[in-house]
Amino acid sequence: MSKYLGPSVPALCHLFILLVVNSLTLFAVFVLLVRSLWAIGANVTTIESWEIERHKTLLRRARYLGGYLDGPDGMKVRIRKQEFPYDIGILSNVKAGMGGSWNVLSWFWPLASTPDRKSGLEFEVNEFEDPNLSWPPPDPDRIPRKSRPILSSTDPFTIPHFDSPADEMAAFRMRQQGDLARRAGLSDDSTAGIRRRRKFHERYKSNKSSQTKTELEEEIAEDSEGNEVGEDEQHSSSEVIDHIDVDEGEEAWRNAEGERLDDFGVDEDVEFYDEEDVPLSVLKERLNAGL
């Protein structure tokens, strides 16, 4: 196509895409500009505007409930109208938002000096309300509940409750000191303080022996004619117990083909009897010592 007939089809498509994208971008920037100018003129940030809307909602609710709203633990909170304290006039709001200076040129000069830090700590108020009133106004939904007494016997919650952060920190310090004392006791002797769980077959053997002995004694006492039978049963049960191999147990589980976990390269002793309560530092010391 000749140039005097106009741009090509790809160029027209590209121009159309640019027109749409630029129009959307310009509209978004214009909305942000209007929002920023309104925030500077009213001296209201986005979060403060949310607080103002929430306060209006609480006022509408309290108007139909006699001026009071329900708080935590049955508390009644009175809701009264409060004016936003930092709206001090349009010009003063612009001055405060642009650094607190009336020099208009410094508002747009990127190399202007930074305002003093005190300008971010103290703010001028319109004095419509009592200076002792806080902003934002009280919200019943945000008031924390009172700490309830801890009843260890009837309390369904297992997590301890503390009346203050100081009490919680003190409890943490006590636990920390206990851990340090325990580790100090383990530093001299690698096995001190470590109580390892006995293997299942050892626990089973001791329990089975005591249980079998008790049953045999009861049978012997009840059966006056079965003295020899009782001795035979006691002898047979002891043989069964003695037949249990020391190395056999829950860690020596076998499948239908008679294969054990050890046949697949799994350390059975570590798998079933890992010392979870031993600190890593102690385990490293024992490994380095070859224990």
For the chain, the 3-state helix, strand and coil shares in percent, each to the nearest 5, are: 55, 5, 40
Domain spans in the chain, listed from the N-terminal domain onward: 3-142, 161-194, 197-246
Beta carbons within 10 angstroms of residue 43's beta carbon: 22
Mean per-residue pLDDT of the chain: 74
Measured distance CA(138)–CA(72) in Å, rounded: 13
Give the model's confidence band at 220: pLDDT under 50 very low, under 70 low, under 90 confident, else very high: low
- pLDDT above 50 for 95: yes
Measured distance CA(98)–CA(115) in Å, rounded: 9
Higher-pLDDT residue of 112 and 211 is 112
DSSP state of 118: G
- pLDDT above 60 for 193: no
Each residue's pLDDT tens digit, 51-63: 888 888 888 888 8
pLDDT at 198: 61
**Three-state secondary structure call for residue 24:** helix
**Three-state secondary structure call for residue 98:** coil
Judge residue 251's burial from the number of C-beta atoms within 10 Å of its C-beta, 0-12 exposed, 13-18 middle, 19 or more buried. buried
pLDDT at 234: 52
In the predicted model, what is the mean pLDDT of residues 181-206? 58
pLDDT at 28: 97
Distance set, CA 270 to CA 215, 275, 290 (Å): 36, 8, 16
Each residue's pLDDT tens digit, 65-80: 888 888 877 778 888 8
What percent of the chain shows pLDDT beyond 90? 9
